[in-house]
Amino acid sequence: MAKPKEVDQRWYVVDASGKILGHMAVQIARMLQGKHKPTYVPHLDTGDFVIVVNAEKVRVTGNKLDTKLYRHHTGYIGGLKETTLADVLKKKPEEVIRRAVWGMLPKSTLGKKMFSKLKVYAGAEHPHAAQKPQPIEV
């Protein structure tokens, strides 16, 4: 059984250019949880850090650009706000990947800790060169 001090966390870079959103989000969530490692235990954060670049070039299948809605409520009466996937991709392309991955992680304090290891950038540049991330194909 893995112990918290024995966990080896690495850094990986994923290029989202031309990748399908859902397929990529599944692989990223598995890496954040550590399910790709033989030392995985469900009560510890054994996952790795994941950097996603070129988030603006992610693909979706079917008619999702126009039909998929992101909803949130302001807290006021009649305050339900809806935005389509196409609008979110134009304004904040990083948010699309963040929301897809967040939906696949556990909703607990451990899940929040895993989610904090996800770094998403719209362009090809990222400020994590000092960590020497390895490129990985998903």
- Taken in order of first residue, the domains within the chain and their CATH numbers are 6-60+95-135 (3.90.1180.10)
Count of other CB atoms within 10 angstroms of residue 131: 15
What digits encode the pLDDT tens for the residues 93-125?
999 999 999 999 999 999 999 999 999 999 999
Count of other CB atoms within 10 angstroms of residue 82: 9
d(CA 133, CA 70) in angstroms, rounded, equals: 31
Alpha-carbon dihedral sign for residues 34, 108, 101, 123: negative
pLDDT tens string, the chain, 138 residues long: the values are 888 888 999 999 999 999 999 999 999 999 999 999 999 999 999 999 999 999 999 999 999 999 999 999 999 999 999 999 999 999 999 999 999 999 999 999 999 999 999 999 999 999 999 999 999 998
